Amino acid sequence: MTTLPPGPTEPPVLQTLRWLLRPISFLESCRRRFGDAFSVRFFGFQTPMVMVSHPDAIRALYGVREHSLPPGRAVALLPIVGPRSLLLLEGREHLARRRLMLPPFHGERMRAYESIVRDAVTRDVDGWPEGRPFALHPHMQATTLDVILRAVFGVTDVARRARLAERLGGLLAASASAGLQFGVLLSRRFGGPDPLARLRTVTQEIDALLAEEIAERRADPREDILSMLIGARFEDGEPMDDREVRDQLMTLLIAGHETTATALAWTFDLLLRHPHALERLVGEVDAGEETYLRAVVAESLRLRPVVPLAGRRLTSELHVDGLRLPPGTDITPAIWLAHTRADRYPEPFAFRPERFLEHAPTTYAWIPFGGGVRRCLGAAFAEMEMRVAIAEILRRRALRPASPAAERVARRNVTFSPSSGTRVVAAARS
Ligand code: HEM
């Protein structure tokens, strides 16, 4: 049978609001009612989105590199990252760029970035208030933005980097709300002014700053990621032109910091509410080891996946969960559901880093970075950054939660984010 699996029957507008405002309860109710695979109708889209969570289904989906992208990714990202972004290109064009952009993100290159992370964290922690509550998430955002700017641009004009940081932070804040996302879907459905148009002024300012950086590196290449992008050549010997370099820079700057900051904020929310795990981790960090730290990062990305969906549009028939889905179907793993399957993770809602001491995460039941030929380019970078930042923070500050209640999941851009920004109280360590 080539029919789509059943799903909620509420009007698309209601399904979309539930997804934007209460994503976890929406997903859980779909799991209860329909099981492993179901179809969701998002407002403003012609076709349903099939959501799957069984590892076999995810393997089957990500195993075929020819599938393309569903339209939702471009709706959310194109106005910011631009049409040549690695995140949005497909097929041969995508693979050719991916090959060019992989080298600086290879696992073995990570040591080189550790000191950048350590410096950025130290500078930020030195400015934290002592003994009174503050939100950790904005600090993690400033830190990870500083890190990616330094990795991408290396040594550069300090005032220009500060202006870029300020404009990029403003752009993300302006595009964050669920209300804006709903407005985008409304204008898609009914026409009318594009709510993202007002972001154009700030993207133009950012473009001007990026153009200055690109021109400088063309004249004087260095060791940084931007110089590498400019020096890279496609198989036919051609380089990327300036417009494309701009889109790939924007992609790295945007994809490379908000996600990692949010993952760090979640990790601290989880750790501070699990004193045994925190104590064990602090002991290990003080001893200069990182086995438990790696498990904490894996468990945090499992229980609080930052990016909820990483979908594809089928270019060939796919057999999953007893269904035959035709070409053209939009389908995505529901990452939260894949990560909280009781058959893969005993006590799936418990924060237990120990589970990853016994078994490393398995490829298709642990997919915070998506999978296959589009798996996150910065996964090794993000995990390195999380490890170094967590260890550095725990070495310098004793933290406790500012309130007894754990953070709720709220949408921010395309991510699941802690609704109050992970409020903590910090004290210097004796
Ligand atoms: C915890 C942090 C991060 C998370 C959770 C995350 C998650 C993701 C996900 C789910 C995708 C889509 C994968 C797919 O469609 O299968 C993705 C793609 C991507 N990410 Fe990340 N990411 C993180 C950090 C980073 C960092 C630090 C960078 C760069 C320095 C980065 C750069 C990219 C790029 C360039 C892509 C597009 C890859 C492609 O289409 O080939 N990400 N990421």
267 CB near ligand 1 (under 6 Å)? no
Task: Give the position, in ligand 1's atom list, of the atom nearest the Cα of 310.
Answer: 15
Residue 260 Cα to ligand 1 middle (Å): 10
The model's pLDDT over 144-176, given as tens digits with 9 standing for 90+, comes to 999 999 999 987 888 999 999 999 988 887 776
User: Which residue owns the Cα nearest ligand 1 atom 14?
Assistant: 370
CA–CA distance, 340 with 370 (Å, rounded to integer):
16
Question: Is residue 401 within 8 Å of residue 273, measured between CB atoms?
Answer: yes
pLDDT at position 63, please?
Answer: 96
Closest listed residue to residue 361, CA positions, set 38, 28, 25, 58: 58
**End-to-end CA distance of the chain, in Å?**
66
310 CB near ligand 1 (under 6 Å)? yes
Mutate to test the pocket of ligand 1, among 369, 374, 385 (most ligand atoms within 8 A of CB): 369
Residue 2 has pLDDT above 60, yes or no: no
What is the 8-class DSSP label of residue 340?
A: T
Mean pLDDT of the residues in the chain = 92
Task: Give the position, in ligand 1's atom list, of the atom nearest the Cα of 105.
Answer: 30
Residue 321 has pLDDT above 60, yes or no: yes
Mutate to test the pocket of ligand 1, among 376, 385, 413, 416 (most ligand atoms within 8 A of CB): 376
Residue 181 has pLDDT above 90, yes or no: no
Identify the helix (H) or strand (E) that includes residue 91: helix 91-101
Residue 23 Cα to ligand 1 middle (Å): 21
Residue 18 has pLDDT above 80, yes or no: yes
CA–CA distance, 18 with 411 (Å, rounded to integer):
11
Q: For residue 415, what pLDDT band results from cuts at 50, 70 and 90?
A: confident
Task: Give the position, in ligand 1's atom list, of the atom nearest the Cα of 312.
Answer: 15
368 CB near ligand 1 (under 6 Å)? yes
pLDDT at position 379, please?
Answer: 97
389 CB near ligand 1 (under 6 Å)? no
The model's pLDDT over 356-398, given as tens digits with 9 standing for 90+, comes to 998 889 999 999 999 999 999 999 999 999 999 999 999 999 9
Q: For residue 201, what pLDDT band results from cuts at 50, 70 and 90?
A: confident
The model's pLDDT over 75-100, given as tens digits with 9 standing for 90+, comes to 778 888 999 999 999 999 999 999 99
370 CB near ligand 1 (under 6 Å)? yes
Rounded to 10 degrees, the C-alpha dihedral 259/262/264/265 comes to: 180
pTM, to two decimals: 0.95
98 CB near ligand 1 (under 6 Å)? yes
Place of tokens 């992609």: 251
pLDDT at position 176, please?
Answer: 67
- The residue type of 286 is D
Residue 188 has pLDDT above 90, yes or no: no
38 contact partners, CB below 8 Å, separation of at least 6: 5, 6, 7, 8, 30, 31, 50, 51
263 CB near ligand 1 (under 6 Å)? yes
pLDDT at position 65, please?
Answer: 94
Residue 207 Cα to ligand 1 middle (Å): 22
User: Which residue owns the Cα nearest ligand 1 atom 36?
Assistant: 376
Starting at the edge strand found earlier in the chain, the sheet holding 312-313 runs 37-40, 49-52, 330-333, 312-313
CA 404, chain centre distance (Å): 27
Hey, what are 337's tokens? 């559901």
Identify the helix (H) or strand (E) that includes residue 114: helix 111-126
User: Which residue owns the Cα nearest ligand 1 atom 13?
Assistant: 370
